[in-house]
Amino acid sequence: MDYTNQIREIASKLFAEGKIDVFVGYRMTGFDENQVPALIRDPNEVSKLVFTDKSVFNLTNYLKQDHTRNKRIGMVVKGCDSRALNLLLTESQVKRENLHIVGIPCKGVVDENGNKMQNCIECIFPNPVVFDEMVDGTPTGSEAPPYQVNTDIQNIAAMDLVERRAYFEEVFESCIRCNACRHSCPMCYCAKCCIDQETSTLYHGANTTSSAFHALMTWSLHLAGRCVDCRNCEKACPSHLPLHLLHKWNEQVIYENFQEHLAGVHEGDRGAFYKYSMKDPDDFIM
C-alpha cells in the first residue's frame, strides 16, 4: 500500500485550486522508518507527504485542535478514520464544508514490528464511509462482511471471574493516569473532561488503582457505541495497556444486544446510547 504520489498530487491540486488552508497527512519522522502526522500549510512542502502501511495514526484527532478550527482542511482518512470523522460531523464538532476528505482504500497498517495490526485484520470497514475523493479514483461501497468477534475478547471472556478480576487489576494498577489515551482519542473533545471535574475526582486521589479504574471505566462508557477502533489510545499509552479490550467489549455487547451497527458507519447516527428500541433486551431486569 503506497499512495504517496497520489496524495502529493491531490494536495498540490487542492492548494493550487485554493480549496484548503491546511493539508493533514503523514510524513517520515526523519530518524527512523516510522511516520508522524504532518500539517502542511505551505504548498511547497507537499513533497513531505507520504502514505504507506506505516501511516498509522488517526488524523481526525487534529480536527479538535485549535490550529485547525475554522480552517479549510484537506485530510487523509482510512476506513476507521472516516468513521471517526462521521461521528465528529454528527456531533457537530466539525463543519463538513470546511473539509476536503481524501479517502484511502485501506489495506491495513502495520505496527512497529511490521506486523499487520490486529484491528486491521478484523476490520470490516477498510474503505472510507465518507470522503470527497478517493486516491485511486474508485468510489467504494461494497457490503460490509458480518461482525467479527475480537479474539482477545473471546479469550478474556472465556476466563472465569477470578481470573478476569486478577487480569484487570493488573491492568488498572499499571495505569499511570497520564491521560495520553484521552488526548490521542479523536472522540474525546470535551472542553473539560468529566474525569478532571471536581465532582468526579471527589474522594479519589490522583494516581491510584482505584482512580485509574474509575477513570478508565467512565472513559470507556463514554466511548461505548462511539469508539471506531482506531487504537490511537493504545499507541499513545506509555504503559502499553490493552485499552482496546474495554472498547471492543462494549462494542460487541452493543452489537449483539441492540443490533446496532458499528460507530460512525452512518452519518447522523449518534451511537447506541442516544437512541433506543422497544425490543431492547429486558430479561436482565427483574
Task: Yes or no: say if 19 and 88 are a contact pair by the CB < 8 Å rule.
Answer: no
Distance CA 38, CA 84 (A): 19
Distance CA 69, CA 212 (A): 31
97 scored as a contact of other proteins (CB under 8 A): no
Q: Of 17, 44, 145, 286, which one interacts with other proteins (CB under 8 A)? A: 286
Q: Which is nearer to other proteins, 4 or 201 (CB)?
A: 201
Task: Yes or no: say if 26 and 50 are a contact pair by the CB < 8 Å rule.
Answer: yes
Instruction: Kindly compute the dihedral angle of the four CA atoms of residues 158, 160, 162, 167, in this order, to the nearest 10 degrees.
Output: 0
- Comparing CA positions, the residue from 126, 124, 123 lying closest to residue 145 is 124
110 scored as a contact of other proteins (CB under 8 A): no
Q: Which is nearer to other proteins, 48 or 71 (CB)?
A: 71
Nearest distance, CB of residue 286 and other proteins, angstroms = 4
206 scored as a contact of other proteins (CB under 8 A): no
Q: Of 208, 239, 242, 266, which one interacts with other proteins (CB under 8 A)? A: 208
Give, for 155, the enclosing helix (H) or strand (E). Answer: helix 151-158
204 scored as a contact of other proteins (CB under 8 A): yes
- Comparing CA positions, the residue from 183, 216, 240 lying closest to residue 58 is 183
Q: Mask of contacts with other proteins, 39-78, x by CB under 8 A? A: ------------------------------xx--------
Q: How many residues bind other proteins (CB under 8 A)?
A: 70
C-alpha distances out from residue 42 to 2, 26, 122, 152, 255, Å: 23, 15, 37, 43, 44
Binding site for other proteins (CB under 8 A): 69-70, 91-93, 149, 153-154, 156-162, 164-169, 172, 189-194, 197, 199-200, 202-205, 208-210, 213-214, 217-218, 220-222, 224, 246, 249-250, 252-254, 256-258, 270, 272-278, 280-286
